[in-house]
Amino acid sequence: MYSFFFGYQIGSRGEYDPVAQLHFMIPLIIVAIAGLSGLEGLFFAKQTAEIKGFEVGSNYQRQSAIALLSYPAAAILVYFANWGIRAELTIFTALIFFLFFSGINHAVDAIRRKNYKWQNINRPFFTLLLIAGMIYPVWMTLKMLH
């Protein structure tokens, strides 16, 4: 939430600057979503699985949490190494693909197993909101790069 508020403020100072906006927003979004989810999956695995209606104690759950932590690690590296907006967009795109397909997985679980727990069904909706909120700055940045 803060990422969007401050990101859009940064981008709107004077002439619109989508690169500055995304440079601020992308690392925060990735750390907030993937980082917190990864830490939650590692340190609160049992509670997280129960809240979502998933199986408890799976090695796959631990592996998924570690994979989620790779996104913020890469985002922080890209940010501090100053690899530029193309690298930032690349790691963000990878996260969006993960969240999109994860959202499909959660939706399928809700339909097949009738798992309508909020923590299970919110993924598709929040992913679509995230995509909607990022379309404009990403689109404007891509236009500038070409």
Instruction: Give the integer Cα–Cα distance in Å for 58 and 46.
Output: 9
How confident is the model at residue 1, as a pLDDT? 67
Name which residue leads in pLDDT, 82 or 123.
82
pLDDT tens digits, residue range 13-38?
Answer: 889 999 999 999 999 999 999 999 99
Is the Cβ–Cβ distance between 22 and 7 less than 8 Å? Answer: yes
Which pair of tokens denotes residue 91? Answer: 């790691």
Amino acid present at 42: L
Dihedral angle over CA of 96, 29, 72, 53, nearest 10: -70
pTM flag (> 0.85): yes
Instruction: Give the integer Cα–Cα distance in Å for 117 and 19.
Output: 37
SS (H, E, C) 43-57: HCHHHHHHHHCCCCC
Which pair of tokens denotes residue 37? Answer: 């989810």
Amino acid present at 78: V
Q: Is 20 helix (H, G, I), strand (E, B) or coil?
A: helix
pLDDT tens digits, residue range 56-89?
Answer: 777 778 888 899 999 999 999 999 999 999 999 9
For residue 99, give the DSSP letter: H
Domain ranges within the chain, ordered by starting residue: 2-145
